[in-house]
Amino acid sequence: MNCPLHIPENAQVLLDYGARKLDAERTETLERHMAICPGCREFAAGQRAMWEALDSWEAAPVSQDFDRKLYQRIEQEVSWWDLLVRPFRPLMVRRGVPVAAAACLLVMAGVLIERPTGSPVPKKDMAQMESVQPEQVEQALDTMEMLSEFSHHVRNDGQESKL
Ligand SMILES: [Zn+2]
């Protein structure tokens, strides 16, 4: 057999050998040649290494404990949300508080922490509530009464003009 490395048309034989696509007869012929040709031995070794690398690379994602390892990792990694909710978890479990309510609880807790001395109601709102005098309320009620009487008249006028 002529050396496949020296005859480009025969190089395919070496590639097929690496891919295990050669029939028994041609494999035997090539192996007999490789026994005396270091160049082809080296080429075949490189091919085998490449195919083995490809085989192991394809095998990794379908390994049976891939899922188990993944979920184990997820369980180990604690999220920021879990850390935030953890102090309230016993309360949530006991009362069955939904996640949205827990979020509200967190916001409220944040407000209380921000105002450790005063009440949770901002001072500006308190001032506005205090500044509303009884006379102002009376005026507002009078205005509402006037408006309702006015609209009553308008409605009656409209009905009369249609008749
Ligand atoms: Zn050779």
| Tens-digit pLDDT profile for residues 96-136 | 556 666 666 666 666 555 555 555 555 555 555 555 566 76
Is 70 a member of any domain? no
Q: Residue 53 class from Cβ within 10 Å (0-12 exposed, 13-18 middle, 19+ buried)?
A: exposed
Q: Is pTM beyond 0.85 here?
A: no
d(CA 15, CA 28): 15
Is 149 a member of any domain? yes
Contact of 17 with 47, CB cutoff 8 Å = yes
How many structural domains compose the chain?
A: 3
- Residue ending a domain, among 18, 34, 62, is 62
Encoded amino acid at 94, one letter: R
Q: Both 15 and 32 in a single domain?
A: yes
Of the candidates 36, 45, 35, the residue with the CA atom closest to the CA atom of residue 14: 45
Q: Give 48 Cα–ligand 1 centroid separation in angstroms.
A: 16
Q: Give 1 Cα–ligand 1 centroid separation in angstroms.
A: 9
Taking only the tens place, the pLDDT of each residue in 56-102 is 776 555 566 777 777 777 677 666 666 666 666 665 555 555 666 66
Contact of 40 with 33, CB cutoff 8 Å = yes
Q: Both 50 and 85 in a single domain?
A: no
Q: Give 19 Cα–ligand 1 centroid separation in angstroms.
A: 17
Confidence at residue 89, expressed as pLDDT on a 0 to 100 scale: 63
Segments forming the whole domain that contains residue 140: 132-162
Taking only the tens place, the pLDDT of each residue in 8-67 is 778 888 888 988 899 999 999 999 999 999 999 999 998 888 888 877 776 555 566 777
